[in-house]
């Protein structure tokens, strides 16, 4: 039994790091001529984290949980590098989602999933655009057209949209004007702009449901990387101080980020048996790019551990290979100890009983007289 437990880590393949990348074209203005290409990289660990999260919808407010501003903040920061006006910023976010191929998708997905899989529908595009705009510091809401089974967003601008081609549409919520921003349609250079509304939704705007972002995600274990330049590669390693340990013991995780960057946040993920990936904790790199993390393994099972760095506007993100640690439950260890004691006692009793038995002399054959 113990031999089988010791073999478990070698029966599970060790995963290698992987990163996903996408690029999007942008104009400096909806009618501008200066083109930019924004390169985005997403670590596999962040994709797996969102893929393992709950995708259920129970109430209308649950739609907001799919808006993830922190995870997409590097995109918002990049947009502010080329836009100085909130209307242009919002139109830049629309240009991005208009480049993602349309495909009916159920259940709903988080923005990181949609960016990696490069397909989605109205609600998924709305989650991405709302995440970027919210991360950019602009008030935004989700607009749900229940009868039309459609969703887009509303953006609160500092001024009425100047680039809308025709009548400007908005909804009022708490005395705030949220200008309609349609996230589907493709044709990123000539697609829908803030303030414009598809004709089939004009009447529906009277009954639209406004979903605020109080329930949006406030924090994420990592972020995408975004840059107008080609992102340089980075690597991160991970080692464990033990491969097997008893439940409740402390194990040290260590590794190094290359290039050797100081004060970079490293996220440690863990997956126990078939449970979802969760965040174990975070740590900081030192002056040589090294990091350590002390983990008290409270849950028994086969644990898969990896480290991740989100990258920045110069370096792409990096995931470490997955390491496997077998944590033996205290109950199992005690059970094995009891079994060993019983076996030992049984062996001692057996040996002692053998020595305690009286010796029986074999009869000798009678002597035959000569």
Residues 276 and 188 grouped into a single domain: no
Residues 36 and 9 grouped into a single domain: no
Residues 116 and 261 grouped into a single domain: no
Residues 203 and 239 grouped into a single domain: no
Residues 195 and 236 grouped into a single domain: no
pLDDT at residue 362 in the model: 58
Rounded Cα distance between 178 and 242, Å, is: 55
Q: Nearest-CA neighbor of 38 among 52, 53, 24?
A: 24
Q: Nearest-CA neighbor of 4 among 239, 298, 336, 357?
A: 336
Check the CA dihedral 160-163-168-170 and report its sign.
negative
347 inside domain: no
DSSP, residue by residue, 56-92: ---SGGGGGGG--HHHHHHHHHHHHHH--SHHHHHHH
**Which of 198, 225, 252 is the endpoint of a domain?**
225
Residues 309 and 210 grouped into a single domain: no
pLDDT at residue 235 in the model: 97
364 inside domain: no
Residues 151 and 271 grouped into a single domain: no
Extract the tokens encoding 312. Answer: 């920045």
- What CATH number is given to the structural domain containing 107? 3.10.620
- What CATH number is given to the structural domain containing 257? 2.60.40.730
Q: Nearest 5°: phi and psi at 123?
A: -70, -40
Query: Can you give the residue range of the structural domain that contains 312?
Result: 2-15+232-328
349 inside domain: no
Rounded Cα distance between 299 and 245, Å, is: 11
Q: Does residue 23 contact residue 42 with C-beta atoms inside 8 Å?
A: no
N-to-C CA span, the chain: 67
Residues 167 and 302 grouped into a single domain: no
pLDDT at residue 338 in the model: 60
Q: Does residue 326 contact residue 302 with C-beta atoms inside 8 Å?
A: yes
Check the CA dihedral 22-28-30-33 and report its sign.
negative
Q: How many other β-carbons are positioned within 10 Å of the β-carbon of residue 163?
A: 15
pLDDT at residue 367 in the model: 63
Rounded Cα distance between 237 and 15, Å, is: 13
201 inside domain: yes
Extract the tokens encoding 262. Answer: 């100081």
Q: Report mean pLDDT in 10-residue bins for the chain, 370 residues.
A: 35 55 96 96 96 92 96 98 97 98 95 98 98 98 97 98 97 97 95 97 96 95 95 96 94 98 97 95 98 95 97 93 91 59 69 66 60
288 inside domain: yes
Residues 63 and 94 grouped into a single domain: yes
| Orientation of helix 86-97 relative to helix 122-135, angle to 10° | 150
Residues 288 and 163 grouped into a single domain: no
Residues 185 and 258 grouped into a single domain: no
254 inside domain: yes
178 inside domain: yes
105 inside domain: yes
**Into how many domains does the chain fold?**
2
β-bridge partners, 25? 37
Residues 266 and 142 grouped into a single domain: no
**Which of 194, 225, 256 is the endpoint of a domain?**
225
Rounded Cα distance between 41 and 23, Å, is: 9
């Amino acid at each position: 039994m113990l031999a089988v437990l010791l073999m478990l880590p070698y029966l599970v393949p060790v995963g290698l790091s992987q990163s996903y990348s996408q690029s999007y074209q942008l104009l400096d203005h909806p009618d501008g001529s200066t083109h930019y290409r924004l390169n985005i990289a997403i670590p596999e660990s962040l994709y797996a984290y969102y893929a393992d999260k709950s995708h259920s919808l129970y109430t209308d407010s649950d739609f907001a949980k799919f808006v993830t501003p922190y995870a997409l903040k590097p995109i918002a920061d990049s947009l502010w590098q080329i836009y100085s006006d909130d209307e242009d910023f919002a139109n830049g976010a629309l240009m991005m989602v208009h480049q993602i191929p349309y495909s009916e998708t159920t259940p709903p997905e988080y923005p990181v999933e949609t960016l990696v899989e490069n397909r989605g529908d109205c609600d998924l595009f709305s989650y991405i655009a709302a995440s970027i705009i919210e991360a950019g510091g602009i008030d935004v809401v989700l607009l749900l057209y229940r009868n039309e089974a459609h969703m887009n967003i509303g953006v609160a601008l500092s001024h009425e949209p100047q680039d809308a081609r025709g009548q400007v549409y908005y909804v009022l919520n708490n005395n705030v004007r949220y200008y309609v921003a349609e996230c589907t349609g493709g044709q990123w250079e000539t697609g829908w702009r803030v303030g414009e509304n598809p004709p089939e939704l004009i009447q529906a705007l009277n009954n639209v449901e406004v979903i605020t972002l109080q329930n949006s995600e406030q924090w994420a274990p990592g972020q995408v990387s975004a840059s107008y330049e080609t992102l340089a590669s980075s690597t991160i390693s991970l080692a464990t101080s033990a491969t097997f340990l008893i439940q409740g013991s402390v194990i040290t995780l260590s590794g190094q980020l290359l290039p050797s960057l100081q004060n970079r946040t490293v996220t440690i993920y863990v997956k126990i048996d078939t449970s979802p990936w969760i965040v174990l904790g975070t740590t900081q790199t030192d002056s040589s790019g090294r990091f350590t993390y002390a983990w008290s393994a409270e849950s028994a099972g086969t644990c898969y551990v990896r480290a991740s760095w989100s990258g920045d506007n110069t370096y792409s993100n990096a995931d470490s290979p997955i390491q496997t640690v077998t944590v033996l439950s205290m109950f199992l260890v005690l059970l094995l100890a009891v079994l060993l004691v019983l076996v030992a006692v049984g062996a001692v009793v057996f040996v002692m009983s053998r020595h305690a038995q009286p010796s029986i002399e074999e009869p000798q054959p009678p002597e035959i007289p000569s």
